[in-house]
Structure 1
């Protein structure tokens, strides 16, 4: 602080000390005279310093700044300030901290502070759009650890009717208190899981919708008396797929007979060919026009989405028929499921049965408990003495204990080939376990059967969960594009009104069939993006309070990626000085203590 008369405080202090000293000296009682004079001097000086607080010069580095973002830790800030000499300037963005200047936007910050060359970022980091204004600044991240709560989560956007919705993720527990996660649908709890220990937990919650349509479920967490809604789970339930199935066996099998009747009751198109003797076949058809099944031809296979066969029947096919079946898989996307008992196949059937296996029993059959991904656990059932070994090359369809597989599939061109070592599932029907039987085969059929290929479709590219006032990247893929054409027109609207917002699409340079556009939602709820000739895509926009881990993770990744791509800059070593005022509380305390002593000493 600058004064018009710089020596005025010292003059006043001298006069105050002399006056109080003279008053203490003139008292007749000479006891404690030295203490009275000392207290008088302290009282006079501290009074003047209260009125005219002194200042000192603090060294600062104007080229270096510390930026505090949401989630910063005070201990990390203190440690960083101690390490950096001279001390840098401290700023905050969308958070609060004592003795720190707030930044409203980084464009204004760069205009007002052009000398800042290095920024140390604490907390969870900055969003991608904020970092774009710091291209000429060296960013050094000191990010906080992931906060308590949901660390990651995933669920399918679309499921078929009868399939279970699985919500899976990781939850970070930081307090020694039991937390329960609930999956709620239509106001009722459908599934829950309890987390008791501190640490990161993996969880899965499941629910099977009863009708097709669009639904919004909720995930809530309860810790003690506190209940929080973590976010919403939007899902679209499509009608159940009914693939056309061709069953081929080397002799009449109860397994295929029961399966044919079961699929027929569900209105699948089903054909069954069983070998009676060499060159003679028994054929049956359900829900379809009768056709010649005596030879496997391309025309025949075009009528089906899935072929279920057993190894002996595969071997009895002619080489031309096997080649036809193989081409239908690789070129047309047909699915082939081989159901094996004791014999899994040989070299002639390797394309369909070449899965790594091991024998677990010397008997013809063994007992196993089957599991599949929708959470169903079946009763013990007789299976082949072999088990399929899990690996990265195959996808497990039906599991058993010890990370082994009872059924597995792998991609082969456009289609899928699969192998099952469960030859007698009809025993579930004989035992009255109709739901288990139906769930098992629904899962296998949907996993292996030919999939409908979409030539044009919309999808949300990012983020995982669209949120209000945050950019949403919408992606249109059009495989029918042959030559350069006009950019497609696209609009987005909320299902709550009819106002349409146009979005500008940009064609990808490296993938000309892909177009992308950005949409900024202004309200929460279901939205739909539409374009001529393309099936509309419905997506749910949620509030920014939902799935907070998404924003934190996006800021962390953006900040770390931005810092990693920067070149190392050598900052100029400049030192500036800021005038800081000594806290007046110390002078006030000295004044109170000294005057208190003078008053008390006079009473003694």
Structure 2
């Protein structure tokens, strides 16, 4: 390719070449295809000159606007954005495959240095992390980010569970044209699965009951067309079951309370039971705990228990002072109260604090047989012909196969009150279904009993999935240090290689009992955070390949936060112009076709 010539000289040379070719075509004796030979001569001459002296045109460029391509950007979005701009924006790629002549940039600070006139950046692809966005402060950011990809795009599970309680992994899944199945794998065995419909977005739950305490890592697998793939890990701390202090109050001797008392004692719970045998006469029994008077319910007595299990008839027999003491123990001290309905749902105003749940009749008989579900199990049982009404304040504890509530609870101050329409569960024991009985009562007790209040505890902020070489925020709360001016001394230990870090904490100005630090994990695996007067806190750093949606979600949240804080007013910037060379491939193709025609036509 020769240097560019002035336009008039280029066309002068082109004219001479074209006239020469036309003259050669005209002087041939054979006059057939003369018009086609002349046209081909003109095209061949013009294209040859354009190949030797490429023509250019002026292209308008907006030096204040740029498009930044990040990972997995959408090509259609890029094309639409470029085609709908009056002046071409600058085009750059960051950790993404370049397209349409995009200039790769090693980091965003370099971009700012090389393009000091930038005012607006259109961001395409997955987005940027918080620390990467720091380089773009002072610029107006316009997002064109990807939507949620196919697969799991939202996920939640508890950090810890008690041994014998259900671990529930819940999330949302976006399907494709191919049906998929999700599995929960523990100890190399598939424990639960759920089939996901194709071309739809739906919720899912996977359940498993761990039996042993310790630190465990379970796996979520996805299987499409016989191709299983591990898509992420579920780290869980399984703790020793908490020994509860249970008070049983029965209006008459019942098998249900007798079997429940024995079961609770076998599980090492502290149990006290008061059973009315006649007017003003009751029997008391204590298991795994010292004897104390149960004749009257007083604030001092109720403070010794975590949950009271009773029935409507006994609640009505209580004196007003006892009901008031029980109500205050719930609302002010966090006590849980479970009422087992006997023959019907009690609606007495005297006991409304404990039993005022909306209910509707779902059967004409005195009882109904239904299929109930809770945690990870389902079982057939006999229930009252009523179902509790769901609302924002009422939470489901046990449901039937139609989603109707058989047992429901609601918060009442610091504590919980609950009612169950399942009057008899001891039948499971008589039928040798001990595991069903154990699971049911472990689930119900966990939902209703007094929650443990900790003076000091750790939190992972935000509650997203940690990964190596990405910052995470740890918060340590200690109410005993609320008035102190010093900060706690804490260490973070990697259980994989025993490496330690001693991060510095900053005290929250609005919450003086709270301290935060930023930690950069270097490798995946379990980590332990320790501080004086606090239980060790275990958290798991995932592999870089796990939970791809978490990276996308974190970047999009960072971009949204950045945009919410930006206050940039773009100033008017004059357009710049650059010379662009017309692609030579077009002239080459025209030259080949026209000269080929001239050669072939002469031979024929």
**Per the shorter chain, which TM-score range?**
over 0.9
Deviates more, 1:361-370 or 1:309-318: 361-370
User: By how many angstroms is 1:361 displaced?
Assistant: 4.6
Indicate if the aligned counterparts of 2:2 and 2:52 stay in contact, CA closer than 8 A. no
| Residues 317-336 of structure 1: pairs in structure 2 closer than 5 A | 317-336=318-337
Indicate if the aligned counterparts of 1:241 and 1:446 stay in contact, CA closer than 8 A. no
Indicate if the aligned counterparts of 2:483 and 2:512 stay in contact, CA closer than 8 A. no
Once the two structures are superposed, residues 395-433 of structure 1 have per-residue CA deviations (whole angstroms, 9 ceiling, x without a partner) of: 221223554322222222322222222222222222222
- The 3 A distance-change label for structure 1 pair 320 and 575 is same
Once the two structures are superposed, residues 10-45 of structure 1 have per-residue CA deviations (whole angstroms, 9 ceiling, x without a partner) of: 565466556656666776666666655654454344
Q: Distance in 1 between matches of 2:462 and 2:572?
A: 39
Q: Distance in 1 between matches of 2:345 and 2:140?
A: 65
Deviates more, 1:309-318 or 1:156-165: 309-318
Once the two structures are superposed, residues 199-237 of structure 1 have per-residue CA deviations (whole angstroms, 9 ceiling, x without a partner) of: 112221122223111111111212225433211111111
Indicate if the aligned counterparts of 2:250 and 2:311 stay in contact, CA closer than 8 A. yes
2:440 matched residue in structure 1: 440
Q: Distance in 2 between matches of 1:5 and 1:82?
A: 31
Quick one: which of 137, 141, 144 aligns to 2:143?
141
Number of residues of Structure 1 aligned to a counterpart in Structure 2: 601
Once the two structures are superposed, residues 140-195 of structure 1 have per-residue CA deviations (whole angstroms, 9 ceiling, x without a partner) of: 22233221111211111111111122111111112x22212121122222222222
Once the two structures are superposed, residues 339-388 of structure 1 have per-residue CA deviations (whole angstroms, 9 ceiling, x without a partner) of: 1212525222222222222344565434343222x13212131x334332
- 2:155 matches 1:153: yes
Unaligned runs of 5+ in 2: none
- The 3 A distance-change label for structure 1 pair 599 and 453 is same
TM-score (norm 2): 0.93
- 2:579 matches 1:579: yes
Indicate if the aligned counterparts of 1:9 and 1:52 stay in contact, CA closer than 8 A. yes
Deviates more, 1:30-39 or 1:417-426: 30-39
Q: Distance in 2 between matches of 1:565 and 1:466?
A: 25
TM-score (norm 1): 0.93
Indicate if the aligned counterparts of 2:139 and 2:568 stay in contact, CA closer than 8 A. no
Q: Distance in 2 between matches of 1:384 and 1:190?
A: 33
User: By how many angstroms is 1:460 displaced?
Assistant: 1.0
1:247 matched residue in structure 2: 248
Quick one: which of 106, 110, 113 aligns to 1:111?
113
- 2:427 matches 1:431: no
| Residues 21-420 of structure 1: pairs in structure 2 closer than 5 A | 36=37, 39-96=40-97, 97-174=99-176, 176-341=177-342, 342=344, 344-361=346-363, 363-372=365-374, 374-381=375-382, 383-420=383-420
Q: Distance in 1 between matches of 2:117 and 2:48?
A: 41
- The 3 A distance-change label for structure 1 pair 393 and 483 is same
Deviates more, 1:336-345 or 1:431-440: 336-345
- The 3 A distance-change label for structure 1 pair 251 and 36 is closer
Q: Distance in 2 between matches of 1:28 and 1:368?
A: 103
2:480 matched residue in structure 1: 480
SS in 1 for 2:481: coil
Indicate if the aligned counterparts of 1:118 and 1:571 stay in contact, CA closer than 8 A. no
Q: Distance in 2 between matches of 1:74 and 1:148?
A: 18
1:422 matched residue in structure 2: 422
Deviates more, 1:348-357 or 1:244-253: 348-357
- The 3 A distance-change label for structure 1 pair 585 and 278 is same
Q: Distance in 1 between matches of 2:346 and 2:373?
A: 21
Unaligned runs of 5+ in 1: none
Deviates more, 1:574-583 or 1:139-148: 139-148
Q: Distance in 2 between matches of 1:423 and 1:598?
A: 100
Q: Distance in 1 between matches of 2:152 and 2:363?
A: 44
SS in 1 for 2:579: strand
Indicate if the aligned counterparts of 1:390 and 1:403 stay in contact, CA closer than 8 A. no
1:516 matched residue in structure 2: 516
- The 3 A distance-change label for structure 1 pair 331 and 54 is same
Deviates more, 1:515-524 or 1:335-344: 335-344
Q: Distance in 1 between matches of 2:210 and 2:427?
A: 27
Q: Distance in 2 between matches of 1:508 and 1:200?
A: 40
SS in 2 for 1:132: helix
Cα RMSD over matched residues?
Answer: 2.5
Once the two structures are superposed, residues 70-100 of structure 1 have per-residue CA deviations (whole angstroms, 9 ceiling, x without a partner) of: 2322222222222211222222222122311
